[in-house]
A = this chain, B = another copy of it.
Amino acid sequence: MSAKRVTSHDVARLAGVSRTTVSVVLNDVQEIKISPATRQRVHSAARMLGYVPDAAAQALVSGRVRIIGLILARRPDHISSDAFIPQILEGLLDTIHKHDLRLLIDIVDPEHQEKAYLELVRANRIDGILLSGPLTDDRALRVLEKEGFPTVIIGHMQKSDLCSVDVDNRAAACLAVGHLLEMGHTRIACITNAPLTYAAATDRLGGYKETLEKATITYDPALVRYGDFTVESGYRQMCSLIADQVPFTAAFIASDTLAVGAISAIQEHSLHIPGDIALVGFDDLPAAKYTKPPLTTIRLPTAQLASRACDLLIRLMNMEEPVNGRVILDVELIIRASSGPRNMR
């Protein structure tokens, strides 16, 4: 069936040297001087045979597998439409390739994340973990933290000293709502991206409240709805807002996904965006540019988040104590047509 494996032994024999020499030459060990001639012979023998060292053998002896584990905590029914996953991958792959690492990916249900990654670690399948998603601070994670296993969170986790790379969701929400204030709106509704058990949802709602307070606008719970990740929930909650007849001229939708649903709801009620209701979303998903009208939103630097997290992780893996275990990246307000000035009717 498949051709017999080429081992360092074969290379050694062809080059007329010992396996040690092969290893030394190919790993470019500086301490040991090898004559250029031998070096050359080894290299060409290796190339000729198409020799690639066995990863398992290397791992067994070195204790490192050169694989990073990316654990995505996602609800199973939301994976297929998760626009962040490709962005995270994009951010990761450059760095990973540059360091000659590989990426092992696993998606776990946030409800039962527990052992998924602990087993990866225990089996020595990965040298470090990148975590993304709505994480609960579970036992497994605390074990890793205590053991000092290289771990970086893309996003945030409460009550944890693990390294993380995140945006300031609260400040970002302030930016979004502040923009609506500037456009002259004072009755601003809010639909959260998720239930408040999710930290990001709480933070974004917190930013919303804070901005209103600063502008001495009383917080009105009647203008707030709680979303649930999906387009449908955006649609539903916007319908609910409109149906309640509590007047508002703008809305901060803490997720573009939900905003798409909200737009649909608004237009079904024959209301105009931004004339009747101005909209600001959150995330700047690829789709945001192509909604009708294009959606003003907060751009999340997802790829950079991932790439910075990866850098941090690699430093942890190399035992260089990271200078800064908590990185906060800036977001950007992307102004498009959905957030026009208040309609002067």
Interface membership of A315, Cβ < 8 A: no
Give the contact stretch, choosing among A102-110, A195-203, A325-333: A102-110
Give the docked Cα–Cα distance between A319 and B2 (Å).
Answer: 11
Asked if B123 and A52 sit within 8 Å, CB to CB, the answer is yes
**A2 nearest CB across to chain B (Å):** 5
Residues facing B in A35-92 (CB within 8 A) are 50-57, 59-60, 65, 67, 76, 79-83, 85-87, 89-90
Interface membership of A286, Cβ < 8 A: yes
**A66 nearest CB across to chain B (Å):** 9
Given A5-B124, A81-B286: A56 touches B60 (CB 8 Å cut-off): yes
**A209 nearest CB across to chain B (Å):** 29
Give the contact stretch, choosing among A181-189, A239-247, A287-295: A287-295
Residues facing B in A93-122 (CB within 8 A) are 93, 102-107, 119-120, 122
**A5 nearest CB across to chain B (Å):** 7
- A283-327 Cβ-contact flags toward B at 8 Å (1 or 0): 000110111100000000011000000000000000100000000
Interface membership of A171, Cβ < 8 A: no
**A21 nearest CB across to chain B (Å):** 20
Q: Which of B89, B106, B122 contacts A52 (CB 8 A)?
A: B122
Residue of B with least CB distance to A53: B123
Most buried by B among A86, A104, A124, A147: A86
**A152 nearest CB across to chain B (Å):** 16
Give the docked Cα–Cα distance between A329 and B145 (Å).
Answer: 46
Q: Which of B5, B57, B67, B79 contacts A89 (CB 8 A)?
A: B79
Give the docked Cα–Cα distance between A292 and B81 (Å).
Answer: 19
| Copies of this chain, count | 2
Give the docked Cα–Cα distance between A106 and B94 (Å).
Answer: 11
Asked if B102 and A102 sit within 8 Å, CB to CB, the answer is no
Interface membership of A14, Cβ < 8 A: no
Given A3-B147, A286-B81: A104 touches B107 (CB 8 Å cut-off): no
Asked if B2 and A148 sit within 8 Å, CB to CB, the answer is yes
Given A59-B56, A124-B56, A287-B290: A107 touches B93 (CB 8 Å cut-off): yes
Give 26 A-B contacts (CB < 8 Å), ordered by A residue: A6-B122, A52-B122, A52-B123, A54-B123, A55-B56, A56-B60, A57-B60, A67-B104, A76-B90, A79-B89, A79-B93, A80-B86, A85-B86, A86-B86, A89-B107, A102-B104, A104-B105, A231-B289, A260-B290, A263-B290, A264-B290, A267-B292, A287-B290, A290-B291, A291-B292, A292-B292
The 7 closest A-B pairs by CB, nearest first: A52-B122, A56-B59, A292-B292, A81-B286, A56-B60, A55-B123, A80-B90
Which A residues lie at the B interface, using CB under 8 A? 1-3, 5-6, 50-57, 59-60, 65, 67, 76, 79-83, 85-87, 89-90, 93, 102-107, 119-120, 122-125, 147-149, 231, 260, 263-264, 267, 286-287, 289-292, 302-303, 319
